[in-house]
Amino acid sequence: MDFAHIMNHLGVKDTETIVYVHDFFQLVVMGLVGWLTYVIISRFISTLFIRIAKRTATIWDDKIMTPAFFKNMGVFFAPILIRIVSSLIGWEYDKFVYNILDVWTTLGVMLILISLLDGVNRIYNSYSISRERPITVFIQVIKIILWCAAVIIIISILIEKNPKTLLLSLGAFAAVLMLIFQNTLLGLVAGIQLSANNMLRIGDWIEMPSSRADGEVQEINLTTVKVQNWDMTITTIPTYKLVSESFTNWRGMQESAGRRIKRAILIDIHSIRYLDEKDFEKLKDSTLLGEYIKKKIDEVEKFNGKQHNSLDKRRLTNIGTFREYLESWIDSNPDINKSMTHMVRQLEPGPTGVPLEIYCFSAIKEWVEYERVQSDLFDHFFAVMDLFELKAFEYSAAAVVS
């Protein structure tokens, strides 16, 4: 018994009305079949397979079989089931309906491929190498290529033209496409350069004043790099700017055996003087300076014994002895890495006194502990200066007024 006979039996005699009702009924059945297919796959089948995946020893299936993946599977299988049911019933559709089903199938294929790419990215990110060589940029490029191909296929389906013909006609719009995807193309080239030259990794501490970025890299993608600053704000930097402009990457410090301390103490030049016997008696009992004082006294006495003019004689200064004390203190500090360069040097005097620069590397690199080590070092240095009768430079009120 066909549909027209049923409608006639119900009292509907108009042929046009029967056609409209028939088409509407077909669309309702198609929509119901598609909806049921989507619900069964995205809810019931997905729950079953996700539970099975969690019980396996591998993590690959856990990363791929996500609820989003099965939703996309539902979108893909819905038009296929509609075709199967329609062929079993023997329904025939207009060409437009078949085109819609083809477009639907194409979108389903695209969504599944996108889900698989996301799964591959999640699997790759579960390995430590992903922090050194992220593939997010390349995954996004593949997605763009796939979506462009899908758009071309969908348009060719709707206008009933060969995709090859459509591609040839797009040649005239190449310049427009280049303009539209300018940032994407720049980001692609920059991403390849950053990865190939190992310039940036996820987790790196970078500093880029032009973009007000100072923090840890959280994400590297096709068009942007996200940096979480130390004040917990997020700075988004265009990927190409990291190639075209300069930035500081602190990875070298983090991977090294120490973190540099480089700071100067400004000595008031008027407090610099020669040491006398009283000073020698006070300093030679020091564990850090005792051997140095005795050695220097012997050297000076031996040298001065051959001199007749006081101007030609050598004498120890408080700033030189203080410098030696600082070097000995750094060398005995367990928080300083002795295998790396460490020294105390005198820089060129200036309007703010004589700078004594402490240059060494803290064995502790973690920020808070590093600052503690540095502060403890200079707390002691400033406090012990008075024992050498040295004063730190300070602007006097008279100097400020003048």
Question: Looking at residue 310, what is its pLDDT?
Answer: 76
All CATH 2.30.30.60 domain ranges in the chain, comma separated: 130-255
Inter-residue contact 354 to 319 (CB < 8 Å): yes
Check residues 37 and 176 and name the one with the higher pLDDT.
37
Q: Looking at the predicted structure, is the pLDDT value of residue 301 above 50?
A: yes
Q: Please state, in angstroms and rounded to a whole number, the distance separating the CA atoms of residues 116 and 122.
A: 10
DSSP-assigned letters across all residues of 34-66: HHHHHHIIIIIIHHHHHHHHHHSS-SHHHHH--
The more confident residue out of 191 and 272 is 272
Q: Which tokens is 106 given?
A: 């194409």
Residue 400: the pLDDT is 47
Q: Tell me the one-letter amino acid at 84.
A: I
Which comes out higher in pLDDT, residue 193 or 270?
Answer: 270
CA distances from 342 to 147, 322, 382 (A): 57, 16, 19
Buried b (16+ CB within 10 A) or exposed e, 156-167: bbeeeeeeeeee
Residue 395 phi, psi (nearest 5): -70, 130
DSSP 396: -
Contact of 385 with 274, CB cutoff 8 Å: no
The pLDDT, as a whole number, for residue 347 is 93
Structure confidence by residue, pLDDT tens digits, 249-286 = 888 877 788 899 999 999 999 999 998 888 888 888 88
Q: Are 390 and 279 in contact (CB under 8 A)?
A: no
Partners of 224 in the β-ladder: 238
The reported pTM is: 0.53
What confidence category does residue 175 fall into, taking pLDDT thresholds of 50, 70 and 90?
Answer: low
Rounded Cα–Cα distance for residues 146 and 143 (Å) = 5
Cα atoms in the 13 Å half-sphere on the side-chain side of 50:
15
pLDDT at 381 over 90: yes
**Regarding the domain delimited by 130-255, which CATH topology (the fold level of the hierarchy) does it fall under?**
SH3 type barrels. (2.30.30)
pLDDT of residue 32: 86
Half-sphere exposure of 226 (CA within 13 A, CB side): 8
